[in-house]
Amino acid sequence: MRCPFCYVDDTRVIDSRPADDGCSIRRRRQCDACGRRFTTYEKVETIPLIVIKKDKNRETYDRKKIESGIIRSCHKRPVSAEQISKCIDDIENEIFNLEAKEVESTTIGEIVMDKIKDLDQVAYVRFASVYREFKDVNTFMNELSKLLSANSDKK
């Protein structure tokens, strides 16, 4: 790290500790040339994720959109806030593990559907009815029959 006072590249870390936000590390450094001390902060660099919508428009990824959809689906269901938060974390991990700069919204939707199915089946059907845009009762029944056959296969 270059010294901000004398611009020499020789500095050393004297002290390291987590910063107040818990997401970065605060480092106290000292320049070997001039002896002055300064503080630096180190944090993980994340690549901005772009979501390609169905209409081909692009927007930045927003965790709150997934969160609101799952919370709406789990309304009046026996699902705790902790379970919802863990589910969203799992979804985000899977999305970011794709290591892509751009992800289609349909890919994100399928990941959400897969994770929410394990969370609560009624929430899954609620989410699926909005996400898959069920047009009539038959498409709704088809999704239910898939869910029921998957459950009978597990037994």
Mean pLDDT of the chain: 88
- What is the tens place of the pLDDT at every residue in 114-146? 999 889 989 988 898 888 777 777 777 887 788
Residue type, 47: I
Share of the chain above pLDDT 90, in %: 59
Split at pLDDT 50, 70, 90, the class of 155 is low
Per-residue pLDDT tens over the stretch 9-38: 989 999 999 887 677 899 999 999 999 999
Instruction: Say what the pLDDT of residue 154 is.
Output: 66
Query: In Å, how far are 60, 74, 96, 126, 127 from 87, measured between CA atoms?
Result: 21, 12, 14, 16, 14
Query: What does pTM read for this prediction?
Result: 0.64
Domain coordinates of the chain in residue numbers?
Answer: 11-43, 50-154
Report, as an integer, the average pLDDT of 48-62. 93
Q: Is the pLDDT of residue 148 over 90?
A: no
Closest by CA position to 93, among listed 46, 126, 131: 46
H or E element at residue 59: strand 58-60
Please give the average per-residue pLDDT across 89-106, as a whole number. Answer: 91
Cα–Cα distance measured from residue 24 to residue 45, given in angstroms and rounded to the nearest whole number: 10
**Distance between CA 95 and CA 105 in Å, rounded?**
11
